[in-house]
């Protein structure tokens, strides 16, 4: 049996490598192939032949983006619509086609219509919901709605990361709930485990640098407490945040994206991890920090409050600088509290979000698609 993984629009293996996500994204497919001996896996990426250098030998590659960079941006959507025809032979060899996310799912949908392959839609977050929460321009909301509608309505199976997303998909797109399976993002709990390092009295943030991550609130809270802050990641908001650092005269260290396998050391070196986002799906960085037994602090919003049980395995704040300062002060004054929360967080991740539980989930999904149950 062959599983085709269709990458999100414009995404390449080289991009995964640059973002530091390559190992994390590849691991479940490598292990899934080992676990299911009759399975072969092929990646359909938007990269060129150079994407081969990032793949292990037991995963095949169809680099659909050989002419992607040379194609004018305005014509790239048209090019993507032609991909199912251009690579018909490679798509037809797959019994199941799985999307990596919703955006770009039309390629997998068209290919499944042409070849009769089963269509498996994976949504780590709901694309349409994010546009609503970001108050994106109307045309982006409309496009996202119809792309999502096309994907969800025609899927043989849908997997999402939270029950909240599943409920939204059912109600918004009139999808039968029986088509949906739910499992949070997996964490390699062996890799992301507590390291015996001296913790710096600093706060850590890891993720994209954009306005919806609410990093300004985090920086202001740290500055007023004279608390050091480490920010790991890249994004369009980076220059503005660096200007804010100068205005606040605060102790902020900016680090570029770090390979996933190096992050456990970063988590373990910091006393506190904070995710101040205005909304999230099922944030991997928060799961990773909890798996490393960090004392985590998160905004009391969707996607975060489903993971953190306030005062049991982390602390929640109410979007404001003052309430965030209260959380930080509690952890700075009571090291026992931080250790207690970190231990509980680690236990939660091991029990519910481990890589092994995710692999069993994926095997069951494949069986459901190929055996009719």
pLDDT exceeding 90 applies to what percent of the chain?
Answer: 83
Mean pLDDT of the chain, nearest integer: 94
Mean per-residue pLDDT, 66-95: 93
Q: What domains can you pick out in the chain, each with its CATH number?
A: 2-186+354-371 (3.40.50.2000), 200-352 (3.40.50.2000)
Q: How much is the pLDDT for 373?
A: 43
Give the pLDDT confidence of 332-344 residue by residue, as tens digits. 999 899 999 999 9
Confidence of residue 367 (pLDDT cuts 50, 70, 90): very high
**In angstroms, what CA-CA distances link 31 with 34, 161, 275?**
5, 20, 30
Confidence of residue 82 (pLDDT cuts 50, 70, 90): very high
Q: How much is the pLDDT for 101?
A: 94
| Residue 265 CB neighbours (<10 A) | 12
Mean per-residue pLDDT, 303-323: 95
Q: How much is the pLDDT for 34?
A: 79
Give the pLDDT confidence of 37-78 residue by residue, as tens digits. 789 999 999 998 889 899 988 899 999 988 888 889 999 999
Find the helix or strand (DSSP H, E) in which 215 lies. helix 215-224
CA trace torsion 133, 134, 135, 138 (10° rounding)? -100
- Under 8 Å between Cβ of 53 and 91: no
Q: How much is the pLDDT for 334?
A: 92
Give the gyration radius of the chain's Cα atoms. Answer: 21
Q: How much is the pLDDT for 350?
A: 95
Confidence of residue 201 (pLDDT cuts 50, 70, 90): very high
Confidence of residue 146 (pLDDT cuts 50, 70, 90): very high
Give the pLDDT confidence of 263-303 residue by residue, as tens digits. 999 999 999 999 999 999 899 999 999 999 999 999 999 99
Distance CA 42, CA 90 (A): 9
**Cβ burial, residue 37 (10 Å; 0-12/13-18/19+):** exposed
Give the pLDDT confidence of 206-232 residue by residue, as tens digits. 999 999 999 999 999 999 999 999 999
Q: Distance between alpha carbon 316 and the CA centroid of its chain, in Å?
A: 21
Task: Say which range, 19-33, 100-114, 174-188, 273-287, has the weakest mean pLDDT.
Answer: 19-33
- Helix, strand, or coil (residue 253): strand
Residue 257 has pLDDT above 90, yes or no: no
Confidence of residue 166 (pLDDT cuts 50, 70, 90): very high
Q: Full-prediction pTM beyond 0.95?
A: no
Q: How much is the pLDDT for 125?
A: 87
pLDDT exceeding 70 applies to what percent of the chain?
Answer: 99
């Amino acid at each position: 049996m062959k599983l085709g993984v269709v990458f999100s629009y414009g995404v390449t293996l080289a991009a995964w490598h640059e973002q530091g996500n390559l190992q994390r994204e590849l691991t479940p497919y490598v292990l899934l192939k080992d676990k299911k001996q009759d399975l072969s896996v092929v990646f359909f990426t938007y990269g060129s032949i150079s994407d081969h250098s990032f793949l292990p030998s037991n995963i095949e590659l169809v680099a659909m983006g050989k002419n992607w960079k040379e194609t004018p941006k305005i014509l790239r959507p048209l090019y993507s619509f032609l991909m199912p025809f251009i690579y018909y032979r490679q798509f037809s060899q797959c019994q199941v086609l799985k999307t990596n996310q919703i955006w770009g799912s039309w390629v997998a949908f068209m290919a499944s219509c042409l070849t009769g392959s089963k269509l498996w839609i994976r949504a780590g977050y709901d694309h349409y919901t994010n546009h609503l929460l970001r108050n994106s321009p109307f045309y982006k909301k409309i496009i996202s709605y119809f792309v999502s509608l096309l994907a969800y309505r025609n899927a043989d199976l849908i997997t999402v990361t939270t029950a909240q997303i599943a409920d939204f998909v059912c109600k918004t797109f009139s999808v039968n709930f029986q088509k949906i399976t739910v499992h949070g993002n997996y964490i390699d709990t062996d890799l992301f485990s507590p390291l015996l390092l001296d913790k710096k009295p600093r706060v850590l943030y890891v993720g994209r640098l954009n306005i919806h991550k609410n990093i300004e609130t985090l920086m202001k809270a740290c500055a007023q407490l004279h608390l050091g802050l480490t920010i790991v990641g890249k994004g369009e908001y980076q220059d503005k945040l660096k200007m804010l650092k100068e205005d606040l005269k605060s102790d902020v260290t900016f680090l570029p994206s770090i390979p996933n396998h190096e992050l456990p050391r970063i988590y373990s070196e910091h006393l506190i991890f904070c995710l101040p986002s205005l909304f999230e799906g099922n944030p991997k960085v928060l799961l990773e920090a909890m798996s490393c037994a960090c004392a985590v602090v998160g905004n009391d919003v969707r996607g975060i409050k489903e993971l953190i049980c306030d005062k049991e395995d982390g602390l929640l704040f109410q979007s404001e600088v003052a309430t965030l300062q209260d959380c930080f002060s509690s952890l700075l004054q009571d090291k026992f509290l931080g250790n207690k929360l970190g231990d509980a967080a680690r236990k939660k991740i091991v029990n519910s979000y481990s890589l092994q539980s995710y692999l069993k989930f994926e095997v069951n999904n494949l069986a459901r698609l190929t055996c009719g149950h």
